[in-house]
């Protein structure tokens, strides 16, 4: 799609783990030929590197230093840290839990704000996470909040993880995601929540294609130059 005639704008897609925001965001960014920011991946990379260095979640000074030295690259749907492909390594629920823990810290969130904002480039950006519409890109033209029941989200995450790990336990996964949801929703700084001007989409009974089409409909309604 040629979008050179459209002023750059941001689409934010927030929601809890397993809501489908990653898959839908990638599809939307590919369709519009926009840049894509997976903000959760940034928290996961920091968590991964902190764990590699044997740090624990409350060693904030050391984690901030580590952030300043990070050399991250996103390319062809892969994530590289210091040139090493860590795409699959950062996807475990263990890293997710660590990421959620450090994401409570205001200094850590502040330290990666500039990096997140640097993804906003012409012709536009699709940004997914927890606080994209509320804190990082409050001026976004289109804000979406994707949700689904915890059962549905756990099932989806199970299907993703089982492709990469042999020993995924469904009951464990349920508990971990429930814990992460609660911790992301109840934290004081930039909690997981829909922006007041966000469109809410419940994806329980929607296929990926149907969710994607709903999001595209909303984008078209806001930007009539997109067909």
- Closest contact distance (angstroms) between CB of 100 and ligand DC is 4
Instruction: List binders of ligand DC among 148-167 (CB under 6 A).
Output: none
Q: Is 147 left (phi over 0), alpha (psi -120 to 50) or beta?
A: beta
List 37, 184, 199, 212, residue binding ligand DC (CB under 6 A):
184
- Closest contact distance (angstroms) between CB of 94 and ligand DC is 12
Contacting range for ligand DC; rule: CB under 6 A; set: 123-131, 145-153, 162-170, 213-221: 123-131
**Count of C-beta atoms within a 10 Å radius of residue 175:** 13
Please identify, using beta-carbon distances, which residue of 16 and 124 lies nearer to ligand DC. Answer: 16
Please identify, using beta-carbon distances, which residue of 153 and 219 lies nearer to ligand DC. Answer: 153
List 19, 120, 130, 203, residue binding ligand DC (CB under 6 A):
130
The strand pair at 142-147 and 199-202 is best described as parallel
Instruction: List binders of ligand DC among 89-118 (CB under 6 A).
Output: 96, 99-100, 103
- Closest contact distance (angstroms) between CB of 39 and ligand DC is 4
Is 133 an interacting residue with respect to ligand DC (CB under 6 A)? no
Site string for ligand DC, 9-38 (x = CB under 6 A): --------x---------------------
- Closest contact distance (angstroms) between CB of 23 and ligand DC is 12
Taken in order 149, 151, 152, 158, is the CA torsion positive or negative?
positive
Contacting range for ligand DC; rule: CB under 6 A; set: 3-11, 25-33, 51-59, 130-138: 130-138
Please identify, using beta-carbon distances, which residue of 6 and 66 lies nearer to ligand DC. Answer: 66
In SS3 terms, the chain reads as CCCCCCCCEEEEEECCCCCCHHHHHHHHHHHHCCEEEEHHHHHHHHHHHHHHCCCCCCCHHHHHHHHHHCCEEEECCEEEECCEECCCHHHCHHHHHHHHHHCCCHHHHHHCHHHHHCCCCCCEEEEEECCHHHHHCCCCCEEEEEECCHHHHHHHHHHHHHCCCCCCCHHHHHHHHHHHHHHHHHCCCCCCCCCCCCEEEECCCCCHHHHHHHHHHHHHHHCCCCC
List 9, 32, 40, 137, residue binding ligand DC (CB under 6 A):
40
Binding residues (CB under 6 A) for ligand DC: these are: 17, 39-40, 43-44, 96, 99-100, 103, 129-132, 180, 184
């Amino acid at each position: 799609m040629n979008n050179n005639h459209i002023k750059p704008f941001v689409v934010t897609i927030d929601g809890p783990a397993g809501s489908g925001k990653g898959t839908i965001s990638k599809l939307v960014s590919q369709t519009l030929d926009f840049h894509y920011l997976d903000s959760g991946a940034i928290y996961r990379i920091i968590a991964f590197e902190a764990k590699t260095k044997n740090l624990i979640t409350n060693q904030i000074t050391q984690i901030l230093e580590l952030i300043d030295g990070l050399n991250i690259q996103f390319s062809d749907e892969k994530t590289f840290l210091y040139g090493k492909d860590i795409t699959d390594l950062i996807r475990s629920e263990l890293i997710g839990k660590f990421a959620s823990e450090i994401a409570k810290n205001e200094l850590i969130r502040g330290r990666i704000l500039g990096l997140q904002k640097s993804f906003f480039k012409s012709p536009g950006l699709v940004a997914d996470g927890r606080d994209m519409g509320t804190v990082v890109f409050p001026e976004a033209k289109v804000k979406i909040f994707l949700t689904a029941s915890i059962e549905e989200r756990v099932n989806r995450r199970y299907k993703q993880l089982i492709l990469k790990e042999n020993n995924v336990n469904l009951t464990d996964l349920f508990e971990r995601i429930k814990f992460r949801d609660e911790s992301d929703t109840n934290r004081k700084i930039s909690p997981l929540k829909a922006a007041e001007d966000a469109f809410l989409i419940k994806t329980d009974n929607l296929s990926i294609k149907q969710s994607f089409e709903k999001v595209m409909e909303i984008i078209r309604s806001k930007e009539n130059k997109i067909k």
